[in-house]
Structure 1
C-alpha cells in the first residue's frame, strides 16, 4: 500500500488500485511468500517481513503506518537518502523518530509506533488500529463539524501537490454535504 495507489472515487471514497503483486492468503497460518528477486512494493512502504520473503496482511499495516507517519510529520520515517539504505533501515527495524515525531501527542506517537513495530505479531491489526485511542479521539465521524480555522488551509487545496492533496481529500470526506457545498462555493471565489 502506498499513497500513489489510493484514488478518490465519487463521494470522496478512497479506493485502492494496482493489485499487480497482490496475493490471496491461502495457507492455514495466513502467511504468503514470493520468489522474485525483487520484493514487491516501493522501498519506503515495504514491511521488514516482506524483505524476508514471508509475510501476512500485517505488511499492509506497516505501509499504513508509513503513510500515517508521513501525513503527521511531513517526512518519511527513515533517515536514509537512497533506496538501498532505506531498505536496510527497514530490514533492521530502524524507524527515525525525529523532532517532528516528538512534537506529536503521546497517543499519536503510540499509534505510529504500534503500526511501525518491526514484529508483525506486535503490530496493530486493522481492527485494533481503528480502536486505538488516538483514532477514537481525533478522527471525527462523517458529518462532524470542521473548525472554521481550517477553511484558509482548505482554500489553498487547488495549489497543493499529490500527497498533501490526498490528505486534504480525506479531511474533506469528513465534511457534511452542507459543509462541502459551503467550501465548494469558497473555492470558486
Structure 2
C-alpha cells in the first residue's frame, strides 16, 4: 500500500505477522540457512512448496509474482470458489500461465517483458528467479529513468555514520528498533541519500559503492570502519534500516514516546520493570529476533544503575540518552 495519498508516495509492503528468520545460529555460534515447514499464509499468495511443507525464502518471490499479477490484471492468478480449489490451481506451479494465462483482453496492453517476469516468479522453486535476478530483468530496464545526477553527499551525514560506529551494541539495537517506527516525512533526506549511494538499487550499500561515493570525503580506512560499525547484522553491506538509523538526528531517535515503545516491547509482563527473568524469557521464546544474550548482558550492565537486577524506565531512558553524540 502507499504511505500517503500524495503523488510519488513510497510504496510499502505490509502484513508481516507470519514473517520469520530463515537464518539460524546454533549454540556453537555457527549460522546456516534452513528450510521452513509450517503451512501458513493466505491461500492466494502461497507458493506450491508451502503447501507441501518444505520451503525456503524463495516463497517470497512467488508472493511478489502474485502481487505483480494483481497489479497488472486486477485479479489473482489462481482463483477458486473455495480455498481448496485455489490451492489445487497453485499446485500446478504456474505453468498454466505460459499456456493460457495471458489470453484475456487485459493482457493485450501488457508488455511481453512483464509477462515473462511473472512467469519467472510464478514457477517451480528450482526455476524461480532470485530478488537480484528479478531486478536485472528486462522489464525493470524499461522502467528505469534517465541516469540520476551524482549528487554530492553532505559531509554531515558522513559524520553521522562515523559517530554511529562508536555507539555500544545496546544503543545501536534499540535505536534501530526506534528508527523503523519513523514516518517517511521524518526521513525524506535520508531516503534520498540512501538511494543516491545504492547505485544498483538492490537495497544495500556495499564497500565498493561507499568508496565510489565517498573517496573525496573519507579515506579507505574510514570507509572500512564505517562499514564495520554500521553493518549491525554483519552481512558485509549497509542495508536501508541500518543507514536510516545511523543518520537520523538525535531529536528523532531520542523521542520519549519511541523510547517508551521500545521499553514496553521488552517489558513483556507489563510490570513496569525489566528483570533478568523477563529478558531471558524473550531470548528463550525467541519473541524478538533482535534480543540476543549480548543485548541482555548490556542492558543489565549499562542500565541497571543500582544493581538490583531490575531496570526501570528511568534507568533505561537515562542510559540511552546519556553521552549519546548528536547524530
TM tier, smaller: 0.5 to 0.7
Structure 1 partner of 2:306: none
**Structure with the greater relative contact order (CA < 8 A, sep ≥ 6): 1 or 2?**
1
Superposed, 1:1-189 pairs within 5 Å as 6=1, 8=3, 12-26=9-23, 30-35=33-38, 39-94=39-94, 95-96=96-97, 97-100=101-104, 102-103=107-108, 104-117=110-123, 119-140=124-145
What runs of 5+ residues in structure 2 fail to find an aligned partner? 25-30, 149-327
Give SS of 1:23's match: coil
CA shift at 1:138, angstroms?
A: 2.6
Post-superposition shift, 1:141? 7.0
* Matched-pair contact (CA < 8 Å) for 2:37–2:53: yes
Task: Provide, for residues 71-123 of structure 1, a one-character-per-residue CA deviation record: whole Å limited to 9, x for no partner.
Answer: 11222112433211001111232445042365232211111100101x21211
Query: CA offset at residue 128 of structure 1?
Result: 0.8
Call closer, same or farther: CA 1:86–1:56 in 2, change over 3 Å. Answer: same
Offset at 1:29? 6.4
Quick one: distance in 1 between partners of 2:50 and 2:141?
30
- Please name the residue that 1:165 is paired with: none
What RMSD over aligned residues (CA atoms) do the two structures have, in Å? 2.7
**Distance in 2 between the 1:139 and 1:80 partners?**
36
Runs of 4+ in 1 over 6 A off after TM superposition: none
Is the contact made by 1:58 and 1:120 (CA closer than 8 Å) also made in structure 2? yes
Deviations 1:15-70 (Å, cap 9, x if unpaired)? 333332222113676333234xxx21111101111111111111010000011011
Structure 2 distance, partners of 1:122, 1:41, is 22
Structure 2 counterpart SS, 1:21 = coil
Q: Distance in 2 between matches of 1:56 and 1:80?
A: 26
Q: Is the 8 A contact 1:31 1:54 kept in 2?
A: no
Q: Mark the CA change 1:140 to 1:52 in structure 2 (over 3 Å): closer, same or farther.
A: farther
**Which of the two has higher C-alpha Rg?**
2
CA positional deviation for 1:8:
2.0
Are the equivalent residues in 1 in contact too, given 2:117–2:134 (CA < 8 A)? yes
